[in-house]
């Protein structure tokens, strides 16, 4: 069996230029030396050089693999859907960025009449009380939305009968001049100075640039949508009020 050199750890470190993995390998090599242990320091240095080269190559491969795994993890995270987290059996969904809410409040201060019976007349508006992303267009019966959303259109109209007899009014809505199916409502007003305030709402999906219209028709020209001025008792009574919000979606 060849004689194994008795080298200290600092000596081994100088031989392998401080490569910690090579130092540990060299120490184990000396401890477990067999008959084929190299007899000269050049052979030992050669063996350690091979070990150091293999260690460096392994390190490079490990770093490359780590970088590739990090890239894959980033790609997975970028496409990973939001998964609800359950806290005490209650699903928790992280809050999402909120977009602005669009709205409009409109009314009309004039009395609107029908010149011809059983003829459709768009209802007009001359006042904007507040608005954001919703506005009166031209003609003033058109209410435009600047953004795509699901909107709630809610109206009230004050019908007034100015002569005896029974009158019928029908009110419905249009989008971009086209009647909305199943949107009509019918109301009756009887006798002189009788009044009725029909009111309901429509939930409609609108695209950016679309416009909404309320439309009415009557079988009696003595029926009108009445506006009243303010008195000492109460504020003015608009002929029609329309509120628009997109708080549905």
Please report, for the domain that includes residue 220, its CATH number: 2.60.120.40
In a domain, 96, yes or no: no
Same domain? For 52 and 160 the reply is no
Q: Which helix (H) or strand (E) element contains residue 47?
A: helix 41-79
- CA separation for the pair 163, 168 (Å, rounded): 13
In a domain, 62, yes or no: yes
Same domain? For 151 and 211 the reply is yes
In a domain, 120, yes or no: yes
DSSP string, 178-215: EEPTT--EEEEEESTT-EE--EEEEEEEE-TT-EEEEE
The whole-number average pLDDT for the span 173-200 is: 94
Same domain? For 122 and 221 the reply is yes
Same domain? For 84 and 113 the reply is no
Of the three residues 59, 90, 121, the one that is the final residue of a domain is 90
Give the pair of three-digit tokens for residue 158: 């004050």
Of the three residues 47, 64, 90, the one that is the final residue of a domain is 90
Local confidence band at 8 (pLDDT 50, 70, 90 cut-offs) = confident
In a domain, 161, yes or no: yes
Per-residue pLDDT tens for 139-168? Answer: 999 999 999 999 999 999 999 999 999 999
In a domain, 3, yes or no: no
Task: Give the predicted TM-score (pTM) of the model.
Answer: 0.61
For residue 210, which phi and psi values (nearest 5 degrees)? -70, 160
Asked if 155 and 242 count as a contact pair (C-beta separation under 8 A), the reply is: yes
Give the pair of three-digit tokens for residue 67: 């970088």
What confidence score (pLDDT) does residue 42 get? 64
Asked if 157 and 134 count as a contact pair (C-beta separation under 8 A), the reply is: no
pLDDT of 211 > 70? The answer is yes
Provide the CA 249 distance to its chain's centre, in angstroms: 9
User: What is the tally of structural domains in the chain?
Assistant: 2
In a domain, 2, yes or no: no
What confidence score (pLDDT) does residue 78 get? 62
For residue 21, which phi and psi values (nearest 5 degrees)? -65, -40
In a domain, 166, yes or no: yes
Of the three residues 90, 122, 155, the one that is the final residue of a domain is 90
**Among 194, 131, 202, residue whose Cα is nearest residue 168:** 194
In a domain, 241, yes or no: yes
Same domain? For 129 and 197 the reply is yes
Say if residue 236 is preceded by a cis peptide, omega within 30 of 0.
no
Same domain? For 125 and 185 the reply is yes
Local confidence band at 182 (pLDDT 50, 70, 90 cut-offs) = very high
Same domain? For 72 and 133 the reply is no
Domain coverage including residue 46 = 9-90
What confidence score (pLDDT) does residue 212 get? 98
Same domain? For 131 and 83 the reply is no
Same domain? For 148 and 170 the reply is yes
Same domain? For 16 and 76 the reply is yes
User: Who's near 98: CB < 8 A, 6+ residues apart?
Assistant: none
Per-residue pLDDT tens for 34-89? Answer: 555 555 556 656 665 665 666 666 666 656 666 766 776 666 566 556 666 666 66
- CA separation for the pair 26, 32 (Å, rounded): 10
Same domain? For 232 and 132 the reply is yes
- CA separation for the pair 215, 125 (Å, rounded): 12
- CA separation for the pair 142, 129 (Å, rounded): 16
Per-residue pLDDT tens for 93-147? Answer: 777 777 788 999 999 999 999 999 999 999 999 999 999 999 999 999 999 999 9
Same domain? For 61 and 124 the reply is no
User: Who's near 9: CB < 8 A, 6+ residues apart?
Assistant: 23, 27
């Amino acid at each position: 069996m060849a004689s194994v050199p008795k080298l200290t750890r600092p000596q081994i470190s100088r031989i392998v230029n401080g490569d910690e993995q090579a130092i540990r390998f060299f120490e184990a090599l000396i401890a477990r030396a067999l008959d084929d242990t190299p007899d000269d320091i050049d052979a030992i240095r050669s063996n350690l050089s091979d070990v150091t080269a293999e260690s460096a190559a392994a390190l490079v491969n490990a770093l490359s693999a780590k970088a590739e795994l990090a890239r894959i993890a980033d790609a997975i995270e970028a496409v990973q859907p939001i998964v609800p987290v359950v806290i005490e059996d209650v699903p928790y969904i992280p809050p999402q960025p909120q977009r602005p809410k669009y709205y409009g409040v409109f009314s009309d201060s004039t009395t609107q009449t029908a010149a011809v019976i059983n003829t459709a007349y768009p209802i007009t508006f001359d006042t904007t009380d507040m608005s954001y992303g919703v506005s009166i267009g031209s003609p003033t019966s058109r209410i435009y939305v600047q953004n795509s959303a699901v909107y709630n259109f809610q109206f009230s109209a004050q019908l007034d009968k100015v002569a005896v007899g029974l009158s019928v009014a029908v009110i419905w809505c249009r989008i971009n001049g086209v009647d909305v199916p199943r949107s009509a409502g019918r109301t009756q007003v009887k006798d002189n100075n009788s009044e009725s305030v029909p009111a309901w709402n429509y939930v409609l999906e609108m695209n950016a640039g679309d416009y909404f219209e309320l439309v009415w028709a009557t079988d009696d020209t003595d029926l009108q949508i009445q506006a009243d001025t303010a008195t000492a008792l109460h504020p003015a009574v608009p002929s029609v009020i329309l509120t628009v919000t997109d708080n549905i979606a």
